[in-house]
Structure 1
Amino acid sequence: MDRLSVIGALLAVGALLGGSVLKGAGLSGLWSPAAFVIVVVGTVAAILLQTPMKTFKRALKIVRWVFQPPAHDRVAVIAKIVEWSGTARRQGLLGLEAEVQNQPDPFLRKGLQMVVDGVEPESVRQMLEIELHGQARSDLDAAKVFEGMGIYAPTLGIIGAVLGLMAVMKNLADPSMLGHGIAAAFTATIYGIGIANLAMLPIASKLKGLIHHQTSEREMMVEGLIAIAQGENPRNIEARLNGFVH
């Protein structure tokens, strides 16, 4: 569990609700079914028009990374690769065959299997990098779904505010309706800006950072596997991979 994300989410909700109370608007001032329909439903509609189904499904799958990011322990991965390199030097590459099925990471398992099968190092690198960059592009496209929602939401908030003000203008003859109507109109603006800046844009940025971190870790795996295939000294491999830790 990412504690910073949990704390940030709680602070965002607290800031919005607490600010509304302190400003005298009250919690009821934040609720507007019309604003919800225009901003929230409208934002979802816009992003569905923009996004392919495969990318949208991937976005729904990786959004949980914001609070439960993929496990990353580069030091442990380096130790494992160094251990494999020692085994390969003592027993040959076939000595690693028993390790293949024990790897929970499909990417690392695939790479190790190619090394055990005696695939040429450059071919291993080429195939793994193609998969690596393809997955990174797919995940970044998924992260941009939330970025897109963060772009559309404020604009739809303005549309909601304008529609609300139009309704107010129709009731100018009734002064008792003006204050309530104007307040309701600006609620849509709060929805749009709040959703964008307290949720969607931070989520997109967090996901992009996690994706770049994961890509860097897999690049480290590729370097380690290639070094094993080339029969490099375990100490040299460890020294090279430690550069990825920082």
Structure 2
Amino acid sequence: MDKTSIFGLLLGLIAIVAGQVLEGGHIASLVQPTAFLIVIGGTIGAVMLQSRATDFIAGVKLGKWVFVPPQHDFRQVLNVMVNWGQQARRGGLLALEAYVAGEKDPFVRRGLQMLVDGAEPDMIRRALELDIDAYEERARAAAKIWESAGGYAPTIGIIGAVMGLIHVMENLSDPSKLGAGIAVAFVATIYGVGSANLIFLPISTKLKHHIASETRRREMLLEGLVTIANGENPRMLESKLAGFLH
């Protein structure tokens, strides 16, 4: 659980609500279902329009990484690679066949299977590099829906504000309806700008960080597998991969 993300989101929301109270306003003034529907519904609709269905669904699922991020233990990867290198040096590449079936990561299992099958190091590198590129392209396309939402939300908020003002102008003869219309107008702007800068854009940035970390982990695995395929000394393998720890 990423406590920083939870604390940051709560802090941002509490700061806005506290500011409203300190200014003498009422919290209820910030609760406008109509404005929420316009901004959030409009933003989701715009993002769905610009995205492929697969990217949109993948992006929504990827959102959980903000609060439950994937664990990337580079030290553990280094230890596993060194262990495999030692096994291969003592018993040959076929000694690693026992690890293939128990490997849960499809990327690692594919590379390990190629290694056991005696594929050339260059072939292993090319195949895994294509896999990494494809993963990064898919993941970034999925994460981009949050960045897009951050771009659309403020504009949709302005649309909501204009709609509220139109409602006000239509009811100038009835002063009792002016307050509600103006409230919707300004709250829609707050929802648009606030959701973009407190939720959508920060989520997008954090997801890009996790994607970069996963890409780096895969690159580390690639270098380890290729080094083992080349038959290099496990100590050289450890020295080569140590750079990924920093």
By the TM > 0.5 criterion, same fold? yes
Q: How does 1:23-102 map to 2 (within 5 A)?
A: 23-102=23-102
- d(CA) in 2 for partners of 1:191, 1:228: 54
Match of 1:119 in 2: 119
Q: Return the letter of the residue paired with 1:66.
A: V
- d(CA) in 1 for partners of 2:120, 2:180: 73
- d(CA) in 2 for partners of 1:126, 1:56: 29
Q: Return the letter of the residue paired with 1:244.
A: F
The count of aligned residue pairs is 246
Q: How does 1:1-246 map to 2 (within 5 A)?
A: 1-246=1-246
SS class of match (1:118):
coil
| CA shift digits 1:133-156 (9 cap, x unpaired) | 101110000110000001000000
8 Å Cα contact 2:160-2:184 kept in structure 1: no
What is the deviation of 1:33? 2.1
8 Å Cα contact 1:171-1:178 kept in structure 2: yes
| CA shift digits 1:154-186 (9 cap, x unpaired) | 000001001111111222234444344322210
What is the deviation of 1:14? 1.3
- Percentage identity across paired residues of the two chains: 51
- d(CA) in 2 for partners of 1:25, 1:181: 17
8 Å Cα contact 1:74-1:217 kept in structure 2: yes
Deviates more, 1:32-41 or 1:169-178: 169-178
Deviates more, 1:36-45 or 1:97-106: 97-106
Deviates more, 1:52-61 or 1:86-95: 52-61
8 Å Cα contact 1:29-1:184 kept in structure 2: no
- d(CA) in 2 for partners of 1:113, 1:9: 43
- d(CA) in 1 for partners of 2:84, 2:66: 33
Q: Return the letter of the residue paired with 1:216.
A: R
What is the deviation of 1:194? 0.9
Q: Return the letter of the residue paired with 1:130.
A: L
- d(CA) in 2 for partners of 1:33, 1:90: 68
Runs of 4+ in 1 over 6 A off after TM superposition: none
What is the deviation of 1:199? 0.3
- d(CA) in 2 for partners of 1:112, 1:168: 67
8 Å Cα contact 2:157-2:193 kept in structure 1: yes
What is the deviation of 1:226? 0.1
| CA shift digits 1:107-128 (9 cap, x unpaired) | 1121111101111111111111
What is the deviation of 1:25? 2.6
Q: Return the letter of the residue paired with 1:7.
A: F
SS class of match (2:154):
helix
| CA shift digits 1:65-91 (9 cap, x unpaired) | 111111110001001100110110100
- d(CA) in 1 for partners of 2:19, 2:142: 32
What is the deviation of 1:3? 1.4
- d(CA) in 2 for partners of 1:46, 1:238: 48
- d(CA) in 1 for partners of 2:124, 2:236: 20
RMSD: 1.2
Unpaired runs of at least 5, structure 2: none
- d(CA) in 2 for partners of 1:128, 1:157: 44
- d(CA) in 1 for partners of 2:171, 2:223: 70
SS class of match (1:25):
coil
What is the deviation of 1:26? 1.6
